[in-house]
Structure 1
Amino acid sequence: MNQGHKHIYDLCKDHMHAYVLAELENGDKIDGIITGLDNEYVYFAVPVNGEQDMESHSMDESRIFGYPGFGYGPGFGYGGFYGGFPPRRFRRVILPLAALSALTLLPWY
């Protein structure tokens, strides 16, 4: 492992489970929570835009639990969410450590 690669690895390790801004070699920036790390990759949970999430979770009859009229129909499924599942808030992103150029700790608020 070269010195630059080791430095980024150590930064990711020190900020495990923290909300960070990762800057890539090509200039792209990704904000998310570091959820995992190995010698080659860093794993992020990246917040999902609410509008994209609603499109990806359109109404599907196979996801409705219970029977209408008994308090478990559409809108009353598990957890009270339409269709029975809560909306997805994060997506998984896997990046090669070699692609990272900087890591910045971000506040949660």
Structure 2
Amino acid sequence: MVHHSKEHKLDLCQNHLKQHVLVETTTGDQIEGYVIEVDDEHVHLVVPSQQIPHLPVRAYGGYGPYGGYYGGGYGPYYGYPPYEYGLSRLIIPLTFVAALSLLPW
């Protein structure tokens, strides 16, 4: 596996801002989403809520292997189904991005 610098990953993510992408992480997870924001440390994605339970991250600001956190609105604590419908925000540190590719709609 080729390891790219953080600057290369930052440029790659910024070049795909507001586009539908497939992100492969250093742990081998593949995440399909829409890049909505990129900062110096993280890439912010909007992903289908059904995809969240399959990723090794915790809800409500908890820290998972990505150090990531996401907000999916109200969870099971408020009587709503947990992440079954709609979209959620997923924030992934750039250091965990192994590859990023553009997907057709």
TM-score by length of structure 2 reads: 0.63
What number of residue pairs does the alignment pair up? 77
Cα distance between partner residues in 1 of 2:85 and 2:45: 15
Please report how far the alpha carbon of residue 25 of structure 1 lies from its aligned counterpart in structure 2 after TM superposition: 0.5
Cα distance between partner residues in 2 of 1:31 and 1:58: 24
Q: Which runs of 5+ in 1 are unaligned?
A: 60-86
Residue 102 (structure 2) aligned to one of 68, 85, 105? 105
Please report how far the alpha carbon of residue 89 of structure 1 lies from its aligned counterpart in structure 2 after TM superposition: 2.0
**Is 1:23 the counterpart of 2:24 in the alignment?**
yes
SS in 1 for 2:7: helix
**Is 1:95 the counterpart of 2:87 in the alignment?**
no
**Aligned pairs for 1:1-109 within 5 A:** 4-49=5-50, 58=80, 89-108=86-105
- Runs of 4+ residues deviating >6 angstroms: none
Q: CA RMSD in A?
A: 2.8
Identical counterparts, % of pairs: 36
* 1:58/1:106 CA distance change after superposition, 3 Å: same
TM-score by length of structure 1 reads: 0.61
